Every structure is written in C-alpha cells, then in structure tokens.
Amino acid sequence: MNIVYNASYGRFEAQFSTDFNGDLATVKGAGFKCDGPPTWTWWTVKLASLNKLRENKPISGLTINESAFQQYTHLAEMEAKNAEARKAFAPVAEEQKKAKKQRKREEEKERTYTTLVIPPKPGELYDFIGAEDLPPMPPFEFKNLPPPWTGPRCVYCRQPVYLYEKQEPIPTCIWCEKNLEKTS
C-alpha cells in the first residue's frame, strides 16, 4: 500500500496494492474514510489514523510518498506543539470547569420553588390540572416596540395606509375601501 498526499483536497489517500482485501481491512481499521463511487478513494486528514496505519501495517507493506511524508512531519510537529499547549493550560481549564460547576450549584440554590396545591374536583374520577387551577399569567409586554407610523393614515378608521392601498383621491385602507364598495 502506498500513501500519497492530495494537495487539492488537503488529505492523505491510500493506494492499494494487489492484496486488496488485506489493504482494505487495514485502512478501515485505521479510520480512513471512502469517497464512494466512482473513484472509491480511501482518505484521511487525521494524524491519529496515519499513526494507527503505521502501527498496524498491511501484509503487502506500507510506503509513503515524499510530499505525503513532508506533510506528515509538519502535522506531527503541530500536534506536538498542541500537546504542550494543552499541558500548559490544563490547570487553567480545570479551574474553569470547577468554577462553572460552582456557579451552577449556586444558581440551583438561588432558585425558588413554590408548591402548587390543586384541590380535588368534586365528582371527577381522575385528578387533572386545568387552566382554572393555575395562577394567572402576567400580561405580555413587548420587548421591541415598532417605531411610530409616519406615513398616511386612512381618513375613515385612522389605520396606516401602505403603498399598495388606495392613495388617491383620499388615502383609504383596503378594509374601508371594501366596506365602502359594499355600502354603495
């Protein structure tokens, strides 16, 4: 099996040898993905998949293209730097997790729960909750009020008259225009 780097897709691709079934099983075990028909190209972008393939080499052997090897070494260097950074920031991340858990616990303590006692309904076989059993909802308040209308208004009902409604000879909304047609 040969590993090449496809720069146009930014991925490593496996080229099978004459032992197709052995190479296929090895590539699947390493975590490669397949494009499907018509090319059936097996590929990966992950360094971990390449390392698994390197540890569990196929029976037919394993070779790597020069450009693929350069890209592999570049990815390995980046992975090493990332691992060092993760180690350096691990204590900070742990403290952030602990602080988040502590805030969550405090929020749970601050929550107030009220018990709602629903009296049994006379003559009912089953207890159920109806709208009459719940406390009234507070009135709805608009968070974002629309700006006041500055355009023309209907001379009959004082509602806004939009561009698609009758403007001449006097501004009239569709509703009033329709009602005027019925009465005349």
Cα angle 19, 24, 27 (rounded to 5 degrees) comes to 125
Mean pLDDT calculated for residue range 127-144: 84
- Backbone angle region of 28, left / alpha / beta, with phi > 0 → left and psi within -120 to 50 → alpha: alpha
Q: What is the CA radius of gyration of the chain?
A: 36
Q: At what angle do helices 66-110 and 47-55 cross, to 10 degrees?
A: 120
Is residue 111 situated within a structural domain? no
Is residue 87 assigned to a domain? no
User: CA neighbours within 13 Å on the CB side: how many for 124?
Assistant: 9
Number of domains composing the chain: 2
Q: Is pLDDT above 80 for 46? A: yes
Predicted TM-score (pTM) of this structure: 0.51
pLDDT of residue 118: 76
Q: Range of 22's domain? A: 2-75
Residue 145 lies in a domain: no
